Structure 1
Amino acid sequence: MATMDSVHTLDAARPYGRGGLTVGPVGYGVAALGNLYAARDDSVWPQCVPAAWDAGIRYFDTAPHYGLGLSEERLGIGLRELPRDEYVLSTKVGRVLDPNPDYRDGDTDIENLFAVPSTRRRRFDYSRDGVLRSVEDSLDRLGVDRIDVLFVHDPDDHEREALEGAFPALDELRSQGVIRSYGAGMNQSAMLSRFIRETDLDIVMCAARYTLLDQGAALDLLPAAAERGVSVAVAAVFNSGILATDRPPADARFDYAAAPDGLRARVERIADIAAPYGVTVPQLAVQFPLRHPTVATVVLGAESATQITRNAALGDVVVPPELWQELEEAALIS
């Protein structure tokens, strides 16, 4: 793995797509600004983007899905006073937001994990018209004059529609200079690999499939990306929380479900091996994907300014090559 570690240093800017964009090792995924799981107090959410900026983060990722547009709106407020040419902004297409005619006072979107009034509702639309409508709406909510990267969002059940509608539309927007890059963002690697082969996308965002505990993307997505010159952003590196703490708690979750005992024991072994080096599991979780030459950035979510500052610092500790080697020899990473 020595060649992998030498590809880029953790604090270096990395190319992101083929449109001249660069990103740092850690980006900020702002789903929590859309009241993911619970409402964020007005004394909390306005501090998040400034904290990310102060921590050196210059890449921000959002989506209409997050809080029925609230995440985009709050992110736009946070970015308003920041120099537009100094950060990279991505959002997503595939879910168009319409007024909800069935809304009754007090109804919320918590069944979709967002604690917001359900005055809007999502409509899957991967057509060309749906993409163009989604982009215009996102620009309005964000309050910016341009979006750098657009991802086709979770087209798991809409692969053909995405290939025939969304991707050609995004290719058109990129060729016109409206956006710099485009791609797809998903929780799986197989379909992303097909998109790499069948379209001219230049960035993909893969959630939870290239982590300390799940390295499935190394078998299909990462080789395909390397072959086609596609940048990879890795999200959900904590696998729903089991890798977010120095030791997994009894109620640790993995991929949104209770973590099996065997998986918790695996994390304990990783922690035991890392401890003599002064390295923690969260630090390993963030830095492991960044060792691969196709991975440009790790996108981390956060609920507060304190958490953002902590996340941004997880790449600061240098992980000795000997530790990676020891984890490999213990068959804990591939």
Structure 2
Amino acid sequence: MTAPVSVGTEPVAIGRGGLHAPPAAYGAAALGNLYRALDDDEWREIVPAAWAGGVRYFDVAPHYGLGLAERRLGESLRAFPRDEYVVSTKVGRLLVPQEAAGRTDIENLFDVPADHRRVRDYSRDGVLRSIEQSLERLGLDHIDIVLVHDPDEHEREALEGAFPALSELRDQGVIRSFGAGMNQSAMLARFVRETDADVMMVAGRWTLLDRSAADDLLPLAAQRGVSVLAAAVFNSGILAMDDPAEGATFDYGPADHSVIERSQAIARVARAHGSTLPELAAQYPLRHPAVAAVVMGGASAAQVARNSRLIARPVAAAAWEELGERGLIGTEGHPVR
């Protein structure tokens, strides 16, 4: 019987700015009332539960609840020593006040009053204003990591405005690291080639079901010493289930039958080796040496506590071997940590 393979729960380096955190990170979109409003008792328990589970890296963005997630995260983190956690936020969606007129932001998936509008701004001035606003909402005197948020249709503006501004801020010691966060890997790979960014967050493209980041981002990041943060590792739900069934979601839509069958096959291998599908989903991205952390969400204390435990129990090496032999995970040739 082969020994379990541990991905570790000790702090690892993130970026080149001296930042370290354990590999389980909390993505704080739910603090912005993603899909539904959280009452005070609910949201106030989330960050303490994540902390108790060993989480020390917290990712947020102005986009999440029109600033609400940043305010709630900042309030929650005031209970903990500032030098013991890492915070990342994002730039590119500048929040501009407007009259809510009774409207909510639910069309953008957040159940909050529509008292601001998002303005895409990847310019130098936009970046500086966005960071200033985020610092105020978070109640912090510095932000560790700043990511350019979803610049898909604004690649040139990001390259000419946002990235040079963030590079200067890092050189000045205002921030420690910077990069971009996107749902695609090809543009992130170009950013690795064309900027001196040291962190990239890829959502949904380096998972048990979608390994497309292995074609471009991951090998280049490993070569350049860029830390990759793997987000959306459950592909919006299907990989968060012990036993996926019809009706499961994949990439924010209904999963087709072939995806469900593949997920079920992986789940059977997991069970045969004493693990669960969510454990494999959380640990698989960390098997690539370029990946520093997995960023998992959660809208309750129970969810974040459960997620933080998913990487604590090592998966048997035989499980990964069987998945490879059966073609259920790729053979991209990436070295295992």
Q: Which amino acid in 1 is paired with 2:62? A: P
2:238 to 231, 235, 242: 242
In the alignment, is the contact (CA less than 8 A) between 2:273 and 2:318 conserved in 1?
A: no
RMSD (Å) for aligned C-alpha atoms: 1.2
Q: Distance in 1 between matches of 2:325 and 2:245?
A: 26
* Partners of 1:263 and 1:211 in 2: CA distance: 13
Give the aligned partner of residue 49 of structure 1. 47
Query: Equivalent residue for 1:252?
Result: 248
Read off the aligned partner of 1:263 and give its amino acid letter.
Answer: V
- The alignment partner of 2:164 has SS state of helix
Output the CA distance in 2 between the equivalents of 1:48 and 1:168: 35
1:273, distance to aligned residue in structure 2 (A): 1.4
Instruction: Give the counterpart of 1:273 among 265, 269, 272.
Output: 269
CA distance in 1, matches of 2:273, 2:317: 11
User: What is residue 145 of structure 1 aligned with on the other side?
Assistant: 141
Counterpart Cα distance in 1 of 2:78 and 2:136? 13
Any runs of at least 4 consecutive aligned residues in structure 1 with deviations exceeding 3 A, and if so which? none
Contact 2:7 / 2:283 at 8 angstroms: preserved in 1? no
Q: For the residues of structure 1 that align with 2:93 and 2:269, how far apart are their CA atoms?
A: 43
The question of whether the paired residues in 2 share the 8 Å contact of 1:73 and 1:142 is answered with yes
Pairing partner for 2:160 from 153, 157, 164: 164
How far the C-alpha of 1:114 sits from its partner, in A, is 0.4
CA distance, structure 2, for counterparts of residue 312 and residue 37 of structure 1: 22
Equivalent in 94, 111, 118 of residue 115 of structure 1 = 111
Which amino acid counterpart does residue 286 of structure 1 have in structure 2?
A
Match of 1:202 in 2: 198
Question: Secondary structure at the residue paired with 2:107?
Answer: helix
2:334 matched to which residue of 1? none
Aligned partners of 1:168 and 1:285: how far apart in 2?
A: 35
TM-score of the superposed pair, with normalisation by structure 2? 0.96
Conservation of the 8 A alpha-carbon contact between 1:73 and 1:141: yes
CA drift of 1:258 comes to 0.3
Deviations 1:41-85 (A, max 9, x none): 111000111111111110000000000000000001101121000
Ranges in structure 1 where 5+ consecutive residues have no aligned partner: none
Counterpart residue number, 2:76: 78
Given the alignment of the two structures, is residue 90 of structure 1 paired with residue 63 of structure 2, yes or no?
Answer: no
Matched, 1:304 2:300: yes
Q: Is the 8 A contact 2:7 2:311 kept in 1?
A: no
Aligned residue number for residue 315 of structure 1: 311
Equivalent residue number for residue 326 of structure 2: 330
CA-to-partner distance for each residue in 1:301-326, whole Å, 9 max, x for gaps? 00000111100000122111111010
Select between 268-277 and 89-98 the one with higher mean Cα deviation. Answer: 268-277
- TM-superposed CA distance for 1:137, in Å, is 0.1
- Number of aligned pairs? 328
TM-score, structure 1 normalization: 0.96
CA positional deviation for 1:24 = 0.8
| Separation in 2, partners of 1:11, 1:36 | 28
Counterpart-to-counterpart distance in 2, 1:258 and 1:313:
27
Q: CA deviation at 1:16?
A: 0.3
Q: Secondary structure at the match of 2:278?
A: helix
Question: Residue in 2 aligned with 1:13?
Answer: 11
Q: Distance in 2 between matches of 1:11 and 1:57?
A: 9
- Offset at 1:9? 3.9
Cα distance in 2 for partners of 1:46, 1:229 equals: 36
3-state SS of the aligned residue for 1:201?
coil
- Measured in 1, the distance between the counterparts of 2:103 and 2:143 equals 31
Q: Secondary structure, in 3 states, of the residue corresponding to 1:108?
A: coil
- The one-character-per-residue Cα deviations of 1:155-188 (angstroms, maximum 9, x if unpaired) are 0000000000000000000000000000000000
Indicate the percent of aligned positions where both proteins have the same amino acid. 62
Give the alignment partner of residue 31 of structure 2, picking from 25, 33, 39. Answer: 33
- Give the Cα–Cα distance (whole angstroms) in 2 for the partners of residues 98 and 13 of structure 1: 37
Report how far residue 12 of structure 1 moved: 2.4
Q: Distance in 1 between matches of 2:255 and 2:122?
A: 34
C-alpha distance in structure 2 between counterparts of 1:142 and 1:238, whole Å: 28
Deviation of 1:217 after TM superposition, in Å, equals 0.3
Work out whether residues 10 and 290 of structure 1, in 8 Å CA contact, stay in contact via their aligned partners in 2: no
- Give the distance between the partners of 2:9 and 2:56, measured in 1 at CA: 12
| Alignment-mate amino acid for residue 85 of structure 1 | D
Shift of 1:278: 1.0
Match of 1:115, SS state, is coil
Could you say what secondary structure the match of 1:82 adopts? coil
